[in-house]
Chain A
Amino acid sequence: MQEYGYVGVFFVGGLLFVCFNLVLAAFVTRLIKAHRPHFAKNLTYECGEAPQSEAWVQYNARYYLFAMMFVLFDVEAAFLLPWAVGFQTMWLDLGWLALIEMVIFLAILGLGLVYAWRKGALEWV
């Protein structure tokens, strides 16, 4: 139980640190900052030209697809790495099952990749 106490101390300490920084940001910075306002500092950056519009624009939904695919296969890689590290021990205990298990996992995700490929999610047009 005492170990949880240590964790609790760190948790409370972290919370206090965050609150301390928030107080600093809210009240102390406006005392010690160098205040040199200029309207150009709030303008959208457009390589020196006068900005045509605001910078918060709509962009293509294709980026969302790519982000989703990335997350899926990134999580797959995150599962692969510890398996690869402990493979030698697993081989002694389980033998071929250790390999077949991971192959099944990869095959399921590979099926998902083939589906995305056939559906055209990998095209950039």
Chain B
Amino acid sequence: MNIDFTSTIPYIPYILQGIIITIQIAIVGAFFGSLIGFLFSLVSHRKNFLGATVRGFIDFFRGTPLIFQLSFFHYGLPQIFPGFLPTAFQTAMIIFSLNSSAYLAEILRAGIEAIDKGQIEAAKALGVSKFHTTIHIIIPQALRNVLPAIVNEFITLTKETSVASAIGVQEILRRQAIVTGTTYRPFEPLLLVGITYYVLIKILSILGKMVEKRLKYDSSSTTI
């Protein structure tokens, strides 16, 4: 079997440093994606200009491939706006945020719609403001409803950061290609990359399970 790590070993630290880039893009994407997605989920059903704009935005990001969005932003837009020159890393952070916001907005919307409307009426009847109802009644329940879907989205997001290699972001997959370019050995660095992704995703899904457990609301007492 033609497996030999000797020529790859010196490059392992270089490849593994790409994890930092991968994680950075994933965290930025997840954070801003959640934030923007949350705001979108609150307005996307409205029958006004704002609602229509948000729906159009979501539709665009769900309706085109990620690699197109990255390329369009990184190579397409600078042609039209000459001063606009985002680095590949900046492009990745922005596009991953916007892309995941579109998916998270849809997920959260589903979570909100799954809430029994009677509770919202009950809050209204008690004189509770819309703001407090949204923050304390709607959001906690919507989150709980869709937590598995959100964790799933974060996992997808983390894996898809590999697509950023296509516009030259030096994340882990890109580094593998560079190493292979000098060593002429694709298998060994690819194996390393595969294992790294797997471990990363495993950690993420374990964290997700822990949060899910914590959010269950019947841990304190017994069922009758």
Please say whether chains A and B are actual partners in one complex: no
Name B's A-contacting residues (CB within 8 A): none
